[in-house]
Structure 1
Amino acid sequence: MNGTTTSARRARELLTDHPVFDGHNDLPWALRQHCGYDLDRCDIAEDRSAVLHTDLPRLRAGGVGAQFWSVYVPAELRGDRAVSATLEQIDCVRALLDRYPGTLRRALTADDVVAARAEGRIASLMGAEGGHSIDCSLATLRALHALGVRYLTLTHNDNVPWADSATDVPAAGGLTRFGVEVVREINRTGMLVDLSHVAPATMRDALAATRAPVIFSHSSARAVCDHPRNVPDDVLAELATNGGVAMATFVPQFVLPAAVEWSAAAEAHLRERGLDPAAESPEVDAARRAYAAAHPRPVATPATVADHLDHMREVAGIDHVGIGGDYDGVAFTPAGLDDVSCYPNLLAELLDRRWSETDLAKLTWHNALRVLGEAERTAAALGERERPSTATIEELDG
């Protein structure tokens, strides 16, 4: 038996005991786009590989034991439209839980995640991707928590009035006073502060303000691939003090330097044709795929992602790394990490690099579970002495 075969077998065995707790999957938005949330038209109990990265058989094959489902809405939605669309996304996750109770289990706490695993079900949590989903309202933040959302990504691709995004022109210089209050209220509720998508200044301000560990639900190492969506080394190093977890993503243009250059050229091609590269439409998707057909894109692999994880482990420490694939949120995936069935391929690569099974168990399961539990314990302590904040952005930033 050769080494590759042995590593693949060991990877699958390890995932039986220490399944993947993935930080970010965009299936709900993909279901909105493909079938208008009509699960009769897109039954994920069946093979949906023609249109989706995710379905139940492939989640099982990939060794997924817990999943943060993103209740993402585009940043161009603002105000009440953003809040309503977020509620529709939450409703989609609830519909999935109701339809597939034998496979998916609602999880609100670390104990729920452990219970789901004991039952042989996939723990299903929710994360809201972008501060626009709360429309500058701490009451709305609390309402999302009451509906089961367990992390808030402070921004998406655009700034919000109280925080700078990694991919927008800086305006706040990080977090405003209201942004600090958002972080502290996230702590008080027991949600997780998610720093994927935010500018480095926002990362640093949030780490200074938080009373609980943070996460990066789907970000990799900027030192390995210089893309603004990735995490600088000084921030990775600070996770050892904060206790948080950076969950490496698989998005090719975030992990492969050549793909960064290719993506920039592809976006310029779209703009020349009057299309917004950030827009989500069949026209944009078709144009992007046509460009890829004419200009073969650089292909990432499990080794590409493993390079990031090697670096993140070295800088942050093994207790502060995780996985956030971003499946169904991207047009392209690495070869060998094509969909949610492919996590064993990444673990096999890491085994070949002499990662111990103890380290891999932390990467896949224990680190994310620990952070979720620590956020809950922080909230319990804060709840004994703090009341819900009634602060407004007008009061703090006006």
Structure 2
Amino acid sequence: MTDTAALERARALLAEHPVIDGHNDLPWALRENVGYDLDRCDISQDQSALLHTDLARLRAGGVGGQFWSVYVKAEFQGDKAVSATIEQIDCVRALAARYPEHLQLANTADELVAARAAGRIASLMGAEGGHSIACSLATLRALYELGVRYLTLTHNDNVPWADSATDEPAANGLTRFGVEVVREMNRLGMLVDLSHVAPDTMRDALRATRAPVIFSHSSSRAVCDHPRNIPDDVLAALPANGGVAMATFVPKFVLPAAIEWSKQAESVLAERGLHALDTTPEAMEALRAYEDANPRPVATVATVADHLDHMREVAGIDHIGIGGDYDGVAFTPQGLDDVASYPNLIAELLTRGWSEADLAKLTWHNAVRVLRDAEAVARDLQRTERPSIATIEQLDGTDGLR
């Protein structure tokens, strides 16, 4: 199959089975760059000079559903984290209201499918980090009522009830309150997202959950030994759970050679008082200057496809998906430059012998199924369980550890 033929087949496949992407940080990018002023950054226009995402490129990429991340920095704690998360939710709702011919809010699997049938991009929300609920199950329920359909249990730092993959172990997984958070999420129908969490947290959550989990943007640790990736034993547990691991495109998570380069680049940002995840023009200027002096190892479409090949082998085709992390990273793989690039990945997988039926599961069907299954579990649980009124003080004591 020629590259041109594969790309044509990929675009045709995505027209029938579009991508449901697990994680895009456009709301935070809009906060950081224009203070949510959508007049200053109109995504109905070409925004390629500033962002990975705009409406035309979403359409070109064959995106039919997007989990917009309503991420806030882990440095935000307590009421500040909660209010900032609500501001992020407000941004997503504002985008859907401003571009109703393109974006349609979706809270359920049926609404996701209906948005697609209407020719719109289904817009769902995921909160990235348990700090967004400030150790409050009532806040968790409020976020669900506002449309948040997954919670990533941690971001880059531990929360008092769960360990992050990129922090020092404190709870050795989930505390008793952490288990209660997972179980209340099950009762609500909110997906438990295990990206960013430590392997012991992953394993504890898989033991605690009554519903399928997701990894909204994580790849294979066996292929690239970065703590943000998923160990094989956890991938192998997904079939019994019914969950989905959505491979990400972040170069330092997919290409071993990029790990050390990224650490050094982040230290350059820190020296300038900039956050490691900063993608503002000032941060990008500093990173490009560093790159000019220190050539960056470049991931490619094939690098990401290698992860998907391995993840399919270990977890099975019914348990993998895609979570690009666009607008949450400074650099992307060659050939996966922005949200218009998904056809390049599908074309690569076609040349590797993936069937169209398997690719349809990867792009669309697995994500729809996991959301629908979580909803079914919630309906059953709500017949017998009341909202939890447990507190972290009751379950874990004052130190936050079990």
Q: TM-score, normalised by structure 2?
A: 0.97
Answering whether residue 256 of structure 2 is matched by residue 264 of structure 1, we say no
Q: Which residue of 2 aligns with 1:100?
A: 99
Q: Given residue 199 of structure 2, which amino acid in structure 1 is its aligned partner?
A: P
CA shift at 1:3, angstroms?
1.1
Structure 1 residue 345, shift from structure 2 partner: 0.1
Q: Which residue of structure 2 lines up, in the alignment, with residue 288 of structure 1?
A: 287
Amino acid of the structure 2 residue aligned with 1:57: A
Distance 2:326 2:129 in 1: 17
Aligned position for 1:213: 212
Listed as ranges, the gaps of 5+ residues in structure 2 are: 398-402
Between the aligned partners of 2:44 and 2:124, the Cα distance in structure 1 is 19
Partner residue in 2 for 1:39: 38
Q: Secondary structure at the match of 2:42?
A: coil
The CA distance in 2 between the partners of 1:367 and 1:274, in whole Å, is 41
Partner of 2:217, secondary structure, is coil
Structure 2 residue 368 is matched with structure 1 residue 369: yes
Partner of 1:193, secondary structure, is strand
Comparing 291-300 with 235-244, greater Cα deviation is found at 291-300
Report SS of the residue matched to 1:386.
coil
- How far residue 288 of structure 1 moved from its aligned partner, in angstroms, is 2.5
CA separation in 1, counterparts of 2:274 and 2:60? Answer: 38
Secondary structure of the 1:15 match is helix
List alignment gaps of at least 5 residues for structure 1. none
| 1:268-315 superposed Cα distances (whole Å, 9 cap, x missing partner) | 444566665356766544433321121110111110000000000000
Cα distance 1:75–1:281, how it changes in 2: closer, same or farther (>3 A)?
A: farther
Displacement after TM superposition at 1:166 (Å): 0.3
Cross-structure match for 1:60: 59
Residue in structure 1 matched with residue 81 of structure 2 by the alignment: 82
In structure 1, what is the equivalent of residue 183 of structure 2? Answer: 184
SS, match of residue 144 in structure 2? helix
Task: Specify the alignment match of 2:164 in structure 1.
Answer: 165
Partner of 1:297: 296
Residue type of the partner of 2:126?
G
For 1:213-292, what aligned pairs fall within 5 Å after superposition? 213-271=212-270, 277=276, 284-292=283-291
C-alpha distance in structure 2 between counterparts of 1:107 and 1:173, whole Å: 35
Residue by residue, what CA displacement relative to the aligned partner does 1:199-250 show, whole Å, maximum 9, x if unpaired?
Answer: 0000000000000000000000000000000000000000011000000000
Quote the RMSD (CA, aligned, Å): 1.3
Number of aligned pairs?
397
Q: Which residue of 2 aligns with 1:71?
A: 70
Letter of the structure 2 residue corresponding to residue 129 of structure 1: E
User: How far apart are residue 87 of structure 1 and its match?
Assistant: 0.3
**In structure 1, C-alpha distance between the alignment counterparts of 2:82 and 2:92, rounded to whole Å:** 16
- Structure 2 Cα separation of the partners of residues 232 and 382 of structure 1: 30
Contact 2:277 2:328 in 1 (8 A): no
Written as runs of structure 1 = structure 2, the 5 A alignment for 1:313-392 is: 313-392=312-391
**CA distance in structure 2 between the aligned counterparts of 1:256 and 1:37, rounded to whole angstroms:** 33
Structure 1 residues 282, 9: closer, same or farther in 2, change over 3 A? Answer: closer
SS at match of 1:157: coil
Q: State the identity %.
A: 77
Tell me the residue number matched to 1:196. 195
Find the residue that maps to 2:41 and give its secondary structure: coil
Q: TM-score, normalised by structure 1?
A: 0.97
1: distance between equivalents of 2:373 and 2:274?
44
Deviation digits for residues 238-263 of structure 1, max 9, x if unmatched? 00110000000000000001111211
Range 292-301 or range 346-355, more displaced: 292-301
Alpha-carbon distance change, 387 to 196 in structure 1, aligned in 2, over 3 angstroms: same
Q: CA, structure 1 residues 361+152, in 2 after alignment: closer, same or farther (shift >3 Å)?
A: same
